[in-house]
Amino acid sequence: MRHDTYDLDATNVDWIDAGDTPTQPILTIRYAGSPARLKERLMRSESSLLGAEEIDVTFRFQSPVSDAETHGVLAVSNNVTGDFVCEVGTDAAPIQKFVQAARRYAQATERDTAYAVRFWTDDGLTVAYEKGVLLVYGPNGILLRHDSLIPNGIEI
């Protein structure tokens, strides 16, 4: 689904700057294609969708992290088969703020699920997952532990 059209929106992150009560950050991925095609990518079998534990969410910088206007790719993949559900090109700054918000939300609420990722089509919400891990990689493919969302007690 690399050539399909996706839009990415990170919400519930502005409370960091305002000092408000933490709310769960949400990544909303809007798919402008066939709802059936997206649903097919999110299926475990003919009758059930993948569970939250069966998908991985990652972000990979495409240029050095220190660049002021660096970009990257957010990817959601099936961690059983390794197949990509989607890849979305985006600016890095909103993802960095999102990871910060998710980390602070998890700390404040003592929850393992730090954020939600939702898939929308023209037909509406397809599926929503609550996640605790979001791995961030540098442009060379090296895991950036400090920039990633990795709950305490998880070894990678």
pTM over 0.95: no
Write down the pLDDT at residue 93.
93
Domain boundaries, the chain: 6-147
Residue 45, classified by CB atoms within 10 Å of its CB into exposed (0-12), middle (13-18) or buried (19+), is exposed
Which tens digits make up the pLDDT trace of 12-47? 999 998 889 999 999 999 999 889 899 999 998 778
Which tens digits make up the pLDDT trace of 57-91? 999 999 888 887 899 999 999 998 999 999 999 99
pLDDT band at 1 (very low <50, low <70, confident <90, very high): very low
Write down the pLDDT at residue 155.
63
pLDDT band at 3 (very low <50, low <70, confident <90, very high): low
b/e per residue 72-91 (b: at least 16 CB within 10 A)? bbbbbbbeeeeeebbbbebe
DSSP 80-99: TT--EEEEEEEEHHHHHHHH
